[in-house]
Amino acid sequence: MQLTDKHREYWSKNLRLTSVLLAIWFVVTFVVIWYARDLNEFTLAGFPFAFYMGAQGSLIIYVAVIWYYARRMNQLDQEYGVHEGDD
Protein backbone atom coordinates (compact mmCIF):
# COMPACT_ATOMS: atom_id res chain seq x y z
CA MET A 1 0.00 0.00 0.00
CA GLN A 2 1.61 3.23 -1.18
CA LEU A 3 0.89 6.41 0.82
CA THR A 4 1.03 9.74 -0.98
CA ASP A 5 2.17 13.07 0.50
CA LYS A 6 -1.46 13.99 0.76
CA HIS A 7 -2.05 10.99 2.99
CA ARG A 8 0.86 11.95 5.20
CA GLU A 9 -0.47 15.48 5.46
CA TYR A 10 -3.84 14.10 6.54
CA TRP A 11 -2.20 12.04 9.24
CA SER A 12 -0.07 14.91 10.55
CA LYS A 13 -3.15 17.15 10.65
CA ASN A 14 -4.91 14.43 12.62
CA LEU A 15 -2.00 14.24 15.04
CA ARG A 16 -1.98 18.01 15.48
CA LEU A 17 -5.72 18.10 16.16
CA THR A 18 -5.40 15.18 18.57
CA SER A 19 -2.60 16.90 20.51
CA VAL A 20 -4.45 20.20 20.80
CA LEU A 21 -7.62 18.52 22.04
CA LEU A 22 -5.62 16.34 24.40
CA ALA A 23 -3.98 19.46 25.83
CA ILE A 24 -7.40 21.01 26.46
CA TRP A 25 -8.49 17.79 28.17
CA PHE A 26 -5.36 17.85 30.30
CA VAL A 27 -5.78 21.47 31.39
CA VAL A 28 -9.47 21.29 32.32
CA THR A 29 -8.83 18.06 34.22
CA PHE A 30 -5.45 17.95 35.87
CA VAL A 31 -4.33 21.56 35.99
CA VAL A 32 -7.67 22.58 37.47
CA ILE A 33 -7.47 19.82 40.08
CA TRP A 34 -3.87 20.68 40.98
CA TYR A 35 -4.79 24.30 41.70
CA ALA A 36 -8.32 23.51 42.96
CA ARG A 37 -7.73 24.97 46.42
CA ASP A 38 -6.70 28.34 45.01
CA LEU A 39 -9.16 28.38 42.12
CA ASN A 40 -12.06 27.95 44.53
CA GLU A 41 -11.47 31.56 45.61
CA PHE A 42 -13.08 32.66 42.33
CA THR A 43 -16.76 32.19 41.76
CA LEU A 44 -18.57 31.39 38.55
CA ALA A 45 -22.34 31.98 38.48
CA GLY A 46 -22.38 31.63 42.26
CA PHE A 47 -20.29 28.43 42.33
CA PRO A 48 -16.73 28.15 43.64
CA PHE A 49 -14.77 27.78 40.37
CA ALA A 50 -12.92 24.49 40.95
CA PHE A 51 -16.05 22.84 42.30
CA TYR A 52 -18.02 23.98 39.28
CA MET A 53 -15.40 22.63 36.89
CA GLY A 54 -15.33 19.23 38.58
CA ALA A 55 -19.10 18.95 38.80
CA GLN A 56 -20.07 20.37 35.42
CA GLY A 57 -17.66 22.68 33.58
CA SER A 58 -15.07 20.08 32.61
CA LEU A 59 -17.82 17.65 31.61
CA ILE A 60 -19.30 20.18 29.20
CA ILE A 61 -15.84 20.73 27.73
CA TYR A 62 -15.30 16.96 27.29
CA VAL A 63 -18.54 16.71 25.34
CA ALA A 64 -17.55 19.70 23.21
CA VAL A 65 -14.07 18.30 22.54
CA ILE A 66 -15.45 15.01 21.25
CA TRP A 67 -18.10 16.79 19.18
CA TYR A 68 -15.47 18.99 17.56
CA TYR A 69 -13.11 16.09 16.90
CA ALA A 70 -15.83 14.10 15.14
CA ARG A 71 -16.87 17.09 13.04
CA ARG A 72 -13.35 18.17 12.10
CA MET A 73 -12.10 14.67 11.30
CA ASN A 74 -15.14 13.89 9.20
CA GLN A 75 -14.39 17.10 7.26
CA LEU A 76 -10.72 16.17 6.87
CA ASP A 77 -11.75 12.76 5.51
CA GLN A 78 -13.61 14.55 2.73
CA GLU A 79 -10.87 17.09 2.03
CA TYR A 80 -8.22 14.43 1.70
CA GLY A 81 -10.40 11.92 -0.10
CA VAL A 82 -10.15 9.19 2.51
CA HIS A 83 -13.86 9.22 3.40
CA GLU A 84 -16.13 6.21 3.18
CA GLY A 85 -19.11 6.62 0.81
CA ASP A 86 -20.65 9.97 -0.04
CA ASP A 87 -23.30 10.99 2.44
Minimum distance of other proteins from residue 71's CB (angstroms): 9
16, 22, 32, 44, 67 from 58: Cα distances, Å = 22, 13, 9, 13, 14
- Which helix (DSSP H) or strand (DSSP E) does residue 47 occupy? strand 47-48
3-state SS assignment for residue 4: coil
Q: Find the binder of other proteins among 23, 36, 41, 79 (CB under 8 A).
A: 36
Site residues, other proteins (CB under 8 A): 1, 3, 7, 10-11, 14, 18, 21-22, 25, 29-30, 33-34, 36-37, 40, 45-48, 50-51, 54-56, 58-60, 62-63, 65-67, 69-70, 73-74, 77, 82-87
